[in-house]
Amino acid sequence: MTLARAADLIRDASAAGRGIGAFNVIHLETAEALVLASAQAQLPVILQISQNCAKYHGGLEPIALATLAVARRAETPVAVHLDHAELPELVDEAIALGFGSVMFDGGALPYDENVALTAEVARKAHAAGVYVEGELGEVGGKDGAHAPGVRTDPAEAQAFVAETGVDALAVAVGSSHAMLDRSASLDIELIAQLRAALDVPLVLHGSSGVADDVIAQAVRAGMTKINVSTHLNGFFTRAVRQMLDADERLVDSRKYVAPGRVAVADEAARLLRLFALSDLSAPSALSLSQESA
């Protein structure tokens, strides 16, 4: 199957009132796990590469080419997206490498600067046929760069979309990046107000800290693209740690990384079904482990 376009996947999910999972790639095994999850769930997925991930790999190109190759070999629709780019030149590079969608993060900037930079990014991306996500109203966490408690104002969001021309908008409604527990409280009423005010799909960042039932409520209220990273990273790390704890003589990294890949695939498949509102009853492996602890 050829590489899917995030624009098509997000548009279809929004029209159907479903959510779609957008999961962050950390390394090759993550990308492989997420494509496997899509096959298991028989649902599309968006693979995201962040600016921080590109920095970890010494640049965007190595991890981007690997992720694009994995996505192109998928049997289900898989798109590749640039996440949280704060540098316009990184957006340019992603477009040149073949990304079908990009997210420019000007959320920490003053409103006028955010509008000006996002509009310029959108203009160049659209000229290349690339879908653009913007951010308004800082999402909490992320190395202290975003103030917790910030909320996106619907009227300001409407003006921001009109002035920048973005195709989707990440909004602040109560979630926070890098949370290790799922206790965030989302403003469901605000999500509904934003959905009514805007003609572009809404994006929920920081979804790792949001419980299943609250995410389902958010999707019903109008959220479409649901971003997850930390939650899945935890599944990978716990599986690797379990293997290493069980055998101190284990040195072949493939033997302990492979279970991490499987753990991520299983949980990501479950989340894809949850976001699509097709399976609201199955508990996560994390929930089961907490109940038995």
- Any idea which residues carry the catalytic annotation? 83
| DSSP assignments along 149-168, one per residue | T----HHHHHHHHHHH--SE
Helices (H) and strands (E) in the chain, counts: 12, 8
Scanning the structure block, which residue is given the tokens 């921001």? 160
Angle formed at CA 110 by CA 228 and CA 60, multiple of 5 degrees: 45
CA distance 105 to 171: 11
Count of C-beta atoms within a 10 Å radius of residue 87: 12
Question: What's the token pair of residue 18?
Answer: 């479903």
Of residues 108, 198, 129, the one with CA closest to residue 161: 198
Scanning the structure block, which residue is given the tokens 């293997």? 243
Task: Report DSSP state, residue 190.
Answer: H
Specify whether the CB–CB gap between 230 and 180 falls below 8 A: yes
Task: For residue 22, list its beta bridge partners.
Answer: 46, 227
Specify whether the CB–CB gap between 65 and 77 falls below 8 A: no
Question: What's the token pair of residue 266?
Answer: 């299983």
| DSSP assignments along 216-238, one per residue | HHHHHHTEEEEEE-HHHHHHHHH
